[in-house]
Amino acid sequence: MRRLAAVFVTTLAIFPSPGSAADPGELARPASHISPEYLMKTVRDLAQFEGRQSGTPGGEAAASYLAARLPGAIRQPFPVSTVQIDTPLRAELDVAERSVPLRPGQDFLPIVSAANGERISAPIVFVGYGIGEPDRGLDEYAGLSVSGKVVLFLRGQPRGFPGRLTHGDKVKTARAKGAVAYLTVTGPLLSPYEQRRGMSTTPVLLYEGTSPETLPGLWLDPPVAEAILWPAGRSLRAFQEDMDQALAARSSETGARITIDMRARRVDATTSNVLAWWAGSDPGLSKETVILGAHHDHLGTQGGLVFPGADDNASGSAVLLEIARVLAATGSRPKRSLLFLSFAGEEQGLLGSRFYVANPSVPLSAVTAMVNVDHAGVGNGKVTVGLS
């Protein structure tokens, strides 16, 4: 409720003419009509559409749901290529002379990637954070051969490492070194930013899509990673603590082996953004537009597992619909015009927003600002505002 009120007030506060402040009463009146019940109903409704993956029936049902609730909405179709992981989805770990079947959705989640196609059975090599940057003082592949093997690395990077590496950078390094697949895990020591975002160490479903430069991958639950490292006398916490104290390669063979059976296929389809226009009240300023956006898609049903996407981003979509409902119910007309813009294809690489920028419904030169709402449902209870 506090998050929505803050987004609502932030949006309306953009509208007053330069040099003037918004009347607090002008903001409070419509904000008082915000309904937590409507918000949660919208989140629950959107969480029912089989994960809302763009280009699937569930994704199109979500777009229709939004279009029916945004006054005067139109749809902006565009092509999309996505990845679908079929069933069965299996993984088995051989460690300490035991074979342990891993449970999808509990012990691991699949990395959604078109690279998943062949059955893989290979030894596991622990490569720390998966960093191969000798010029920046850390090469965790030094002295190791990972060709034909599966690498295990932690999410993120150690505290003293200069610059920033993305997850994609790590996968490219593993691929260049000859790895046939990768495993990743979140260690117990979270950064302040991760804590603020409400992140945990549980597995994350990551979408890598149709890129030819990736590898098959699984995101592990920490106890599984600990089981892989335990025979070598390692733990995730101790490793992170050591790396934070001194940057050094602490990689090694694990003696464990994993078998992965995960089949993916590419799906080419059509999806659509949903747009709705709310005209401003000021004869001069109404020619300017503020965009209020949020993506409505999520990652769908993968390997028989449904990913509802309640936080990402049914929560942000609920904000859009509730602000539209309140404006319509109260007859509020901010000075500038407002464009509600619900994007599809965000998880596949910001496809909906890229398509809109290439095909805008109003000239981009008339857009004064954009407020984008994402992950509005989880965190430490405070609103995080970023500028770009």
Q: Is the pLDDT of residue 188 over 70?
A: yes
Which position has the higher pLDDT, 156 or 384?
156
CATH code of 289's domain: 3.40.630.10
Last residue of a domain, one of 230, 245, 262: 262
Residue 18 confidence (pLDDT): 45
User: CA-to-CA distance for 285 and 15, rounded, in angstroms?
Assistant: 8
Tell me the angle at which helices 316-330 and 36-46 cross, rounded to the nearest 10 degrees.
Answer: 130
Contact predicate 125/151, CB 8 Å: yes
Q: Is 103 helix (H, G, I), strand (E, B) or coil?
A: coil
Using 50, 70 and 90 to split pLDDT, how confident is the model at 28? confident
Residue 11 confidence (pLDDT): 56
User: CA-to-CA distance for 314 and 292, rounded, in angstroms?
Assistant: 15
Which position has the higher pLDDT, 174 or 200?
174
Distance linking the first and last C-alpha atoms of the chain: 25
Does one domain contain both 236 and 329?
no
Q: What total number of domains does the chain contain?
A: 2
Mean pLDDT of the chain: 91
Does one domain contain both 218 and 148?
yes
User: pLDDT tens, 154-166?
Assistant: 999 999 899 899 9
**Which residue range is the domain that position 28 belongs to?**
2-80+268-372
Contact predicate 216/113, CB 8 Å: yes
CATH code of 253's domain: 3.50.30.30
* Six-digit token string for 210: 């149709």
Helix (H) or strand (E) holding 170: helix 167-176
Q: What is the mean pLDDT of residues 266-270?
A: 94
Does one domain contain both 235 and 180?
yes
Using 50, 70 and 90 to split pLDDT, how confident is the model at 17? very low
Does one domain contain both 159 and 255?
yes
Does one domain contain both 231 and 302?
no
Using 50, 70 and 90 to split pLDDT, how confident is the model at 4? low
CA distances to 85, 226, 229 from 232, rounded to whole Å, are 33, 10, 6
Q: Is the pLDDT of residue 243 over 70?
A: yes
Does one domain contain both 39 and 161?
no
Phi, psi of 142 (to 5 degrees): -60, 130
Does 160 fall in a domain?
Answer: yes
Does 383 fall in a domain?
Answer: no
Phi, psi of 231 (to 5 degrees): -60, -25
Last residue of a domain, one of 262, 281, 316: 262
User: CA-to-CA distance for 100 and 108, rounded, in angstroms?
Assistant: 13
User: pLDDT tens, 281-325?
Assistant: 999 999 999 999 999 999 999 999 999 999 999 999 999 999 999
Does one domain contain both 251 and 167?
yes
Residue 31 confidence (pLDDT): 81
Predicted TM-score (pTM) of the model is 0.86
Does one domain contain both 216 and 330?
no
* Six-digit token string for 136: 């920046």
- Token pair 């709705």 in the structure block, residue: 276
Does 40 fall in a domain?
Answer: yes
Angle at 54 between CA 186 and CA 71, to 5 degrees: 115
In DSSP terms, which residues pair with 109 in a beta bridge?
219
Does one domain contain both 32 and 67?
yes
Does one domain contain both 102 and 207?
yes
* Six-digit token string for 346: 């965000």
Contact predicate 274/62, CB 8 Å: no
Does one domain contain both 120 and 257?
yes
Does 382 fall in a domain?
Answer: no
Task: Give residues with Cβ within 8 angstroms of 154, minimum separation 6.
Answer: 128, 129, 130, 184, 185, 186, 187, 236, 239, 240
Q: What is the mean pLDDT of residues 215-220?
A: 96
Omega prior to 313 cis, within 30 of 0: yes
Which position has the higher pLDDT, 111 or 388?
111
Using 50, 70 and 90 to split pLDDT, how confident is the model at 366? very high
* Six-digit token string for 81: 């290529």
Q: What is the mean pLDDT of residues 138-167?
A: 95
User: pLDDT tens, 332-353?
Assistant: 888 999 999 999 999 999 999 9
Does one domain contain both 254 and 298?
no
Residue 22 confidence (pLDDT): 55
Does 381 fall in a domain?
Answer: no
Using 50, 70 and 90 to split pLDDT, how confident is the model at 19? very low
Residue 210 confidence (pLDDT): 86
